[in-house]
Amino acid sequence: MNDSVNDKVPSLKEALRGALWAQALTAEQMARVEATTFEVFVPKGGYVCRKGEIVDNWVGIIAGMVKMNNFSPSGKSVTFTGVPPGGWFGEGSLLKDECRKYDAMALRDSRIARMPATTFHWLLENSLPFTRFLLMQLNERLGQFIGMVEHERLLDPDTRVARCLASLFNTHLYPGSERLVQISQEEVGLLSGASRQRANQALQVLEREGLLRVDYGGIRILDLDGLRKFEAHV
């Protein structure tokens, strides 16, 4: 499978009009969004955002996949989450008017939408549905990260990997997710707090359970509800 962005993905305008937060915007509000939001291409391994930079855009994924991560002073990488197509992030830093607290890197060639902070704040002041969307977004994100802490401290590696993959299918945070997740076993390990070898073992367990299939170029989800409910046999 080719890592490159293919021709089947939506245009910028199609991605904006298809976004959950855009569904209740007025024609005037949508026109401003389309006039000011722009697209950039980030190659695999490139930075979408850098820790410490001034946050001047709300960021959406049109195609590709992005991971949010940090590096310790010793160089150890800690990945917080992956963001597939349809996901938007960075609203917290925009609302708090602070420098970015994490890096965001492309796991594969990615097309990125950037909505200027001025447009973001204008929508916040002029669109009640947009404000409600952001409240839900922040609530879902909080639940996601609370779950990550719980999984890290309480669950075994097999179950953590299952929950990690299931979390990529949050219909509010990531409405564009497809059942073939183009993510490496190493990245699954980083997202779930396991080594690549241990993540590979967990994927084999989940595959035997009929919950997923490890394909060339990614992981195909066969039973999403089963992944969410999976508990390893002790």
Contact indicator for 129, 19 with CB cutoff of 8 Å: no
Distance CA 117, CA 219 (A): 35
134, 170: one domain: no
114, 180: one domain: no
Query: What's the DSSP call for residue 134?
Result: H
Q: Is 201 helix (H, G, I), strand (E, B) or coil?
A: helix
Provide the domain count of the chain.
2
163, 132: one domain: no
Q: Is 219 left (phi over 0), alpha (psi -120 to 50) or beta?
A: beta
Distance CA 114, CA 37 (A): 6
Considering only residues 193 and 49, tell me which one the structure prediction assigns the higher pLDDT: 49
Instruction: Flag whether 48 is in a domain.
Output: yes
Lowest mean pLDDT among 38-42, 97-101, 184-188, 222-226: 184-188
Query: What's the DSSP call for residue 21?
Result: G
Among 89, 80, 90, residue whose Cα is nearest residue 54: 90
In the prediction, which pLDDT does 4 show? 46
Q: Does 225 have pLDDT greater than 70?
A: yes
Task: Report which secondary-structure segment, H or E, holds 29.
Answer: helix 27-36
217, 132: one domain: no
Q: Which domain holds residue 214?
A: 155-233
What CATH number does the domain containing 160 carry?
1.10.10.10
112, 214: one domain: no
Considering only residues 93 and 155, tell me which one the structure prediction assigns the higher pLDDT: 93
Residue pLDDT, tens place only, 63-95 = 988 888 887 777 777 777 888 889 999 999 999
What CATH number does the domain containing 73 carry?
2.60.120.10
18, 65: one domain: yes
